[in-house]
Amino acid sequence: MNYLPATEEDKKKMLERIGLDSVDDLFKDIPDNVKLNRPLNLPEGMSEYELKKKIKSMSSQNQNMDQVISFLGGGAYDHYMPALVDHLLSRSEWYTAYTPYQPEISQGTLQSIFEFQTMVCELFSMDVSNASVYDGANALCEAMIMACDRKKEIILSEAIHPEYIETVETYANGLGIEVKKAGLAGTITSMDELKASINDKTGAVAVQYPNFFGNIEDLKAVADLAHEHKAMFIVVVGDIVSMGMLEAPGNLGADIVVGEGMSLAGPINFSGPSIGLIATTKKNVRKLPGRIVGLTEDKDGKRAFVLTLQAREQHIRREKASSNICSNQALHALATNITLSALGTKGLKEMALKSMRNASYAMKRFTAIEGVELVNKGHFFNEFALKLPVPAKLLNKRLLKKGIFGCVDLSRFYPERVNEGLFFLSEFRTKEEIDLAAQYMEVIFNEQLFK
C-alpha cells in the first residue's frame, strides 16, 4: 500500500467536507488529560548511512538466544528450526504475510494453507483446522466464542497462562460472557473447584496442556466433567513441541484445541509475531473463525484447492458474524509447514524427548542445591517451577551477569510467589550448561544468605 501524504490544502478540503474546523475536532471526545499535548519524541531526519549506524549501535545492546544460556519459557519457547526454513521463506513467491481473500488465489498458496491445516489436525488429532489466527491467546478467545454461542459462561483453569486469561476476560467483557476461574491444587487444576463451578449454563471448560507451570493435566477427567454438563472442552497447547511426546488432546475428549505455534515458525522475537492454532471436530466446522481451504476437483477432474466456509466474517453482515477475524498468519503458517515437513514425526518426537530429558536432569541438579524445592505436583514436560532461597528477580539479575537468562519470575503474575521461578529446558541445553547454571546458582544463594 502506498503512503499518500495529505497537504494542508487536502486537509482543509476534507475538513470542509465533513463540517469541521480543525483535525483536533475529530478527537474532541477524548479527554485532554489523556492526550499527548506535545510533538512525538523523535529525532531529526538522518541520512541512510547515519540511520543504519544508529540502529546497529542500538541493536548491539540486545542479548539474544545465541549469546546466552536461556532457561526462559513461560509462553515463548526457543526450539530448533532447520536452516531451510528461512531459505524457502525468503523466496519471492512466498515472501508475503498477505492473507488470501479471493477464491482464485494461487493454487500454491492454497495448497500451503491446506497442508498447514492438515498438519495441525494431525498434531492435535482433530478433524478440521483453519488457516491460523493471530496468536495462542487470540485462538483461545475464538474458541470461547465458538463454545458460548448459546450459553454465556466459561470456566478457565488458573493454570492457563495468565496473559491468555487476561485476553479472554477482555473479549468476554464486550460479549457479555461470564468468565469463572477454577483454582489450583498445588500447580494443577483443582477438580474440586471445577466441579463446584460447573453447571448447565457453562458453555465451555478450558485447561492448558502442559499447563503454565509445566504440569500435564488429566484431560480425560476434565473432558468427562464438561460433557456431563453439555459444555465444550477446550484444550490450550502452550508449547506445540509437546505434541511430539504427549497424547493428542483430540484422543482425550477435546472439542476444540488451540495453541501457540511460534516455536516452530520463527525465532524468539520480543513479543512476536506469533501464530495461533485452532482445530475442532466436524460437528463444529461451521463455527471456525477465519478462512478454511478445502480440497476438491476442477471441471476437468484435476485436484484443486479452494477457499471455503468463510461464513463468519466480512462475507456476511458484520452484526451477524460471531467472529470478525479478517486475517491470518500466512507466512508463519508456511514456516510451520516447512519445519514440520523437515522434522517429520521422528524429528519432532526426538526434539520433545530431548527437551523433556534436559528438564528432568535440570530439575534434579537444581533441587540438589540447599534451599531449593520443586513446586510442581505431578508430572511435568519441559518446564517446572522452583521455590528459591532468594527472590527470583534477584537471581535473574545475578545470572544475567554470567550470561544466563535464569527463569520466569512468577511474582510477575502471582505477587505471593516472590521466591518462585519457572524454568524451561529446550533441546538446545547441554549437561555442561545446566551444571554451570547450577554452580552459579549455588554461589549466588550462598552469597545472599551469608552476606
pLDDT at 98: 66
Rounded to an integer, what distance in angstroms lies between the CA atom of residue 340 and that of residue 245?
15
Per-residue pLDDT tens listing for the chain (451 residues)? 566 788 999 999 999 999 999 988 999 999 999 998 888 888 888 899 999 999 999 988 888 888 899 999 999 999 999 999 999 988 887 776 666 666 556 888 889 999 999 999 999 999 999 989 999 999 999 999 999 989 999 999 999 999 999 999 999 998 999 999 999 999 999 999 999 999 999 999 999 999 999 999 999 999 999 999 999 999 999 899 999 999 999 999 999 999 999 999 988 887 678 999 999 999 999 889 888 899 999 899 999 998 887 655 555 666 667 777 767 788 899 999 999 999 999 999 999 999 999 999 999 999 999 999 999 988 999 999 999 999 999 999 999 999 999 999 999 999 999 999 999 999 999 999 999 999 999 999 998 777 6
Could you tell me the pTM of the whole model? 0.88
String of DSSP letters for 183-216: -EETTEE-HHHHHHH--TT--EEEEESS-TTSB-
C-alpha cell at 223: 473432558
Q: Which of 178, 179, 183 is nearest to 164 (CA)?
A: 179
pLDDT of residue 393: 96
pLDDT of residue 281: 97
Per-residue cell: 128: 478440521
Q: Which amino acid would we find at residue 366? A: F
Cell digits of residue 271: 513479543
C-alpha cell at 363: 530439575
CB 288 within 8 A of CB 280: yes
Identify which of 336, 331, 341, 284 has the alpha carbon closest to the alpha carbon of residue 100. Answer: 331
> What is the reported pLDDT for 312?
54
End-to-end Cα spacing for the chain: 61
pLDDT the model gives residue 343: 95
At 51, give phi and psi (nearest 5°): -65, -45
pLDDT in the model for residue 324 = 73
Question: What's the pLDDT at 2?
Answer: 62
- Are 282 and 127 in contact, with CB atoms under 8 Å apart? yes
Calculate the average pLDDT of the chain: 91
Cα(5)–Cα(180) distance, rounded to whole angstroms?
48
Cβ 220 vs Cβ 191: under 8 Å: no
Q: pLDDT tens, 176-224?
A: 999 999 999 999 999 999 999 999 999 999 999 999 999 999 999 999 9
At 330 the pLDDT is 84
* pLDDT value for 169: 97
DSSP β-bridge partners for residue 205: 155, 233
- Grid coordinates given for 357: 530429558
Among residues 236, 79, 253, the alpha carbon closest in space to that of 158 is found at: 236
Taking Cα atoms as reference points, which of 365, 123, 367 lies closest to residue 235?
123
Maximum separation of any 2 CA atoms in the chain, in Å: 81
pLDDT at 6: 87
- What is the C-alpha to C-alpha distance for residues 369 and 360, in angstroms, rounded to an integer? 15
Tell me which DSSP letter residue 424 carries: E
Q: Compute CA 422 distance to the chain's CA centroid, rounded to the nearest angstrom.
A: 17
